[in-house]
Amino acid sequence: MALIKNPCPHCESSLIIRSSEQESPIVKRIYLQCKNLACGFTGQGFLSIESEISPPSIPNIKINLPRVVIRKKILCDYARPDKKSYAHH
Ligand SMILES: [Zn+2]
């Protein structure tokens, strides 16, 4: 069970990933539930890998993701998980 930082679209409490199915190597279908018992919202969506920031050391030849350059601030925040700003994407 994982908490994602995105809020419930209805009450803005945290959403919990209750279940998931791997649809492809880069797409996972996720089933979400609002943590707020008084709300009770559930939904589904996708967690997908859309681009590559740095190349892998052991690449899968079936995976061909576009390379993307991201802003330095995001990389710095990623290196310090205590910072919250990267988690809102
Ligand atoms: Zn909710």
| CA 19 to centroid of ligand 1, rounded, Å | 17
Beta strands in the chain (DSSP E): 2-7, 14-24, 27-34, 42-48
| CA 7 to centroid of ligand 1, rounded, Å | 8
| CA 14 to centroid of ligand 1, rounded, Å | 8
The stretch 69-88 carries a mean pLDDT of 63
The residue type at 15? L
Whether pTM > 0.75 for this model: the answer is no
For the CA atoms of 54, 48, 28, 77, the dihedral, rounded to the nearest 10 degrees, stands at 60
Work out the pLDDT band at 89, boundaries 50, 70, 90.
very low
Dihedrals phi, psi of 80, to nearest 5 degrees: -125, 85
- Please tell me whether residue 56 adopts helix, strand or coil conformation: coil
**CA–CA separation, 51 vs 68, rounded Å?**
6
Domain boundaries, the chain: 1-49, 52-89
**CA–CA separation, 87 vs 78, rounded Å?**
8
The stretch 1-27 carries a mean pLDDT of 88
| CA 42 to centroid of ligand 1, rounded, Å | 8
Does the structure show a pLDDT above 90 at 62?
yes
| CA 26 to centroid of ligand 1, rounded, Å | 28
Q: Look at phi and psi of residue 12 and say left if phi exceeds 0, alpha if psi is from -120 to 50, else beta.
A: left
pLDDT in tens, 28-54: 999 999 999 999 999 999 999 999 999
Does the structure show a pLDDT above 80 at 86?
no
